[in-house]
Amino acid sequence: MERYFQKEIECAPREEIIRIQNEKLVKQVKHVWDDVPYYRRKMEEKGVTPEDIRSIEDLHKLPFLSKADLRESYPYGLLGCPLKECVRIHSTSGTTGRRVVAFYTQKDLDLWTDCTARAIVAAGGTDEDVCQVSYGYGLFTGGAGLDGGSHKVGCLTVPTSSGNTQRQIMFIQDLQTTILCCTPSYAAYLAETMEEMGLAPEDIPLKAGIFGAEAWSEEMRRDIEQKMGIKAYDIYGLTELSGPGVAFECSAQNGMHINEDHFIAEVIDPDTGEPLPDGEQGELVFTSLDKRAFPLLRYRTRDICVLSREKCSCGRTHVKMMKPRGRTDDMLIIRGVNVFPSQIETVLLNHGYPANYQIIVDRVNNSDTLDVHVEMTPEMFTDNIADITKRQKELVDGMKAMLGIKAVVTLVAPKSITRSEGKAVRVIDKRKI
């Protein structure tokens, strides 16, 4: 039996969702026009006024917001209400440039944690469950988001935050944790550690995992599910919009329902900015309908994704987004094939390598070459050449399966991959086109 946190809205008829979106959009555009001068200027430049936006049909008339806008308006430029109404900030890691700081009123936090509560209930959570939140707490939205949702569902919340693997496992065993929330790579690491400790899936009390905040593959899902004896659910979100819970997976485990009563999702052609019909792959754009403190309209996520309105077996009516294929700003075209560094990262993680890699693309005799440098780690190194080359071959095969083109894998010395400002340079494109 499928359970819902807010059944009425999660399973609302299509017309009802559209009615809610129309109503909220008109109000939100007015709020932004009145209270966010930065966006008002953008609207004025485009010659749009709030009167032009009467329903979601008019959404395309609004200007986009990009990460660059957020950086430019750091820290208060996109604030939608006086600071005295705000009660919290969260912030992105700032790994791709300047940090983004997002603001929340108490109501913003409340609606956000409704979303994460929906995700927990969709994963089977009830007030009987013990929910261990192993996402980082702090500026990162992962910990706070799932923590709030877990409280709303009434789970016994175990706020371990990330790290200290031995303690995580101790709590899972001692408190009989049933739901684990963390990043998929940390889940994979925990699963592996528990396996090494000799814990069979039936010895592990966990029944479900809610894993998000980074790219992961179906293989990785199956591996984690098998080792822990759980069902693993994906969750999606961005700090800019609230955090995890913008979309979440249900029992169908086939795409994530976007909380359409709080967000409007569009897919656009990343080059022209034109909206694309459902089912076509493009860049995901979100309009937040309820956020008061940080009300972003038509925010370009740079995630490449497909939306599906096919009827879902779980009974929810909200549109589903498929797992993002990668990001617009780092897509490479190699031998005519779209390649995302995140796909290569997924293969590495799935094979037990850390995501320390560098992609070198070149053109030799008019043909593109793809060379992936992977740093050797103490865990992967053995004295046996045959073992190492076998693992190397597994990586090559894994990449071929994931990308559809052949890559050369070169094992390099630890820490030899150039890092600038602490973050590795992931792609070197030597092609002169």
User: Which residues make up the interface to another protein (CB under 8 A)?
Assistant: 376-378, 381-385, 388-389, 392, 410-416
- Cβ closer to another protein: 292 or 373? 373
* Residues with Cβ within 8 Å of residue 327, at least 6 apart in sequence: 302, 303, 304, 340, 342
Report the nearest approach of another protein to the CB of residue 369 (Å).
15
Report the nearest approach of another protein to the CB of residue 356 (Å).
12
For residues 153 and 116, give the distance between their C-alpha atoms in angstroms, rounded to a whole number.
Answer: 9
Q: Are 417 and 411 in contact (CB under 8 A)?
A: no
Q: Would you tell me how many other CB atoms lie within 10 Å of the CB of residue 85? A: 16
Report the nearest approach of another protein to the CB of residue 396 (Å).
12
| CA angle centred on 108, ends 104 and 112, rounded to 5° | 115
Report the nearest approach of another protein to the CB of residue 360 (Å).
13
- Cβ closer to another protein: 76 or 381? 381
For residues 181 and 151, give the distance between their C-alpha atoms in angstroms, rounded to a whole number.
Answer: 13
- Cβ closer to another protein: 41 or 390? 390
> The tokens of 186 are what?
């940390």
Report the nearest approach of another protein to the CB of residue 398 (Å).
17
- Cβ closer to another protein: 319 or 374? 374
- Cβ closer to another protein: 329 or 379? 379
Report the nearest approach of another protein to the CB of residue 382 (Å).
6
Peptide bond into 82 cis (omega under 30): no
For residues 87 and 80, give the distance between their C-alpha atoms in angstroms, rounded to a whole number.
Answer: 13
Q: Would you tell me how many other CB atoms lie within 10 Å of the CB of residue 405? A: 14
| Residue 280 DSSP SS3 | coil
Report the nearest approach of another protein to the CB of residue 379 (Å).
9
- Cβ closer to another protein: 148 or 398? 398
Report the nearest approach of another protein to the CB of residue 416 (Å).
7
Distance (Å) of CA 46 to CA 53, 60, 349: 13, 12, 44
Q: Are 237 and 246 in contact (CB under 8 A)?
A: yes
- Cβ closer to another protein: 122 or 355? 355
- Cβ closer to another protein: 144 or 374? 374
Q: Are 353 and 377 in contact (CB under 8 A)?
A: yes
Which DSSP helix (H) or strand (E) runs through 268?
Answer: strand 263-268
